[in-house]
Structure 1
């Protein structure tokens, strides 16, 4: 852990951040073209991609988005106004809130995810190569 980095490792880390930023910029422009923010898309993606089910609770989404719960509540409210998600009472705990995609949220998430899938495939090899350059 205390081994100093050599020049090639700095270059690999810099390139990793560059490639990551290019992907994020691609995503920002794509979501904007579809009329939503990148954060709104990330919410849709996390609901649709939540492991083992088709919905997620606010706390789970906060963890997946690495955000505060109150921020996620606001984000869900904005997406709800756009007709992309709906809130439902928890199945086991009625105090909990389940977030579900609407048909429009499903459609939009699928459309944007198709474009992301292709971009991630392109980056896969780049990231493998960069990881091999680090000691």
Structure 2
């Protein structure tokens, strides 16, 4: 049986959610500065992090928790911005692999460096919060 929640648990959960929300606000602001929506930034990151043979619309849909048609629209917008290209596979012409353009790689590198720095800044606070759940 689970241990009953105490006041400290509620406080830790509230602080955890607050810290995560601060990070998301940071992320949203940085994406906007380079002309991206948070979802576009997240899609570029998902494509960059994927194994090259797994970077598909379906993968983006899964990573962003989107319905396939929503992910397709997102990918279409990224392609229109010159941030991704589609590459059909030889063995299945219906399957397209997504590739980041040099423009996207530059933007993503800038955003990712700033995000890594922010995570490192938040790490002590997050660690302290998470340690309260031991």
TM-score normalised by length of structure 1: 0.92
Gaps of 5+ in 1: none
The match for 2:30 is: 30
Between 1:122-131 and 1:37-46, the stretch displaced more is 122-131
The match for 2:57 is: 58
Aligned pairs for 1:53-132 within 5 A? 53=52, 56-132=55-131
How many correspondences in the alignment? 134
Cα distance in 2 between the residues matched to 1:125 and 1:77: 39
| Offset of residue 53 of structure 1 | 3.0
Gaps of 5+ in 2: none
| Offset of residue 116 of structure 1 | 0.4
Cα distance in 1 between the residues matched to 2:30 and 2:4: 39
User: Are the aligned partners of 1:48 and 1:54 in contact in 2 as well (CA < 8 Å)?
Assistant: no
TM-score normalised by length of structure 2: 0.93
| Offset of residue 55 of structure 1 | 6.2
Structure 1 moving runs of 4+ over 4 Å:
none
